[in-house]
Amino acid sequence: MENGYQLLICQTQARKEKELNFLHMLTTKQVDGLIFTSIENEWKTVEPYLQSGPIVLCNEYISEAKVPIVRLNQVKGSYLGTKCLIEKGHKAIAYCGSNYSELGRDREKGFIQALAEFGLGLKKEWYFDNFYSIDCGKKVLQSILTMEPNMRPTAIFTGSDEVAAGIIKEARQRAVPIPDQLAVIGFDDQPIAELLEPTLTTIRQPTKDMGRRTMEVMLSMLATEQSNMQVDQTIVELPIELIIRESV
């Protein structure tokens, strides 16, 4: 590669023990550094491994982690998406996300912030927690359709384009017009967003810039042989934006 390093991509599949196995690779010098795009274990479990080499967080963050973090303003992203739905005239808005991580809690915070600003609230039955895949999106719509017609949300803010894709796919199967009967907003702006019918309104994350900046931070640490134990938490925050398409 350009800087003489090889890249190894590891998938934990949300399993804590697999994550610990990859951390052990840093201790045994099988890898020179680790970039986390998600964290399954508590930070107090990860922190001792900082003595073995540099760790950088990418689009994942923990307030107590004294390591470089490349991130986005998730509160702003969900706020922009929710405000868009409200300005389109929606008052009954569902939320699909996860409060498992600090990132997920920030997305929920932005959603609640926008609702509060316009004097709106979130009904318990309109809150879908820990839904993250296309199949999950299908289940979300199925659940909405079990509600009485006058008790259903007219819009939904989702924490992922995959969930939004599942909702739209299931809506087509069940002849539910989008956005006329249910407006949908995703998060990420994955390539699938432009392939859906209707195309998906979503929050764009600058993934290429995020990846490039993360590698720049890691390479800088490796070049100076700088241990994470010697640095403060450095935050690189990249811009986030709402991309309006046909689903709202």
Q: Is 180 exposed, middle or buried (0-12, 13-18, 19+ CB in 10 A)?
A: exposed
**Which of the residues in the chain have pLDDT under 50?**
228-229
Looking at CATH, the fold of the domain delimited by 74-204 is given as Rossmann fold (3.40.50)
pLDDT at 63: 87
pLDDT at 171: 98
Beta bridge partners of 34: 55
pLDDT at 229: 46
Calculate helix-pair angle for 161-173, 134-145, nearest 10 degrees: 50
Is there a common fold for 16-72+206-239 and 74-204?
Answer: yes
CATH tag for 16-72+206-239 (out of 3.40.50.2300, 3.30.565.10, 3.10.580.10, 3.40.50.12280): 3.40.50.2300
Give me the residue spans of the domains in the chain: 16-72+206-239, 74-204
pLDDT at 98: 80
SS3 state at 4:
coil
pLDDT at 232: 64
Count CB neighbours of 185 within 10 A.
Answer: 30
SS3 state at 232:
coil
The reported pTM is 0.88
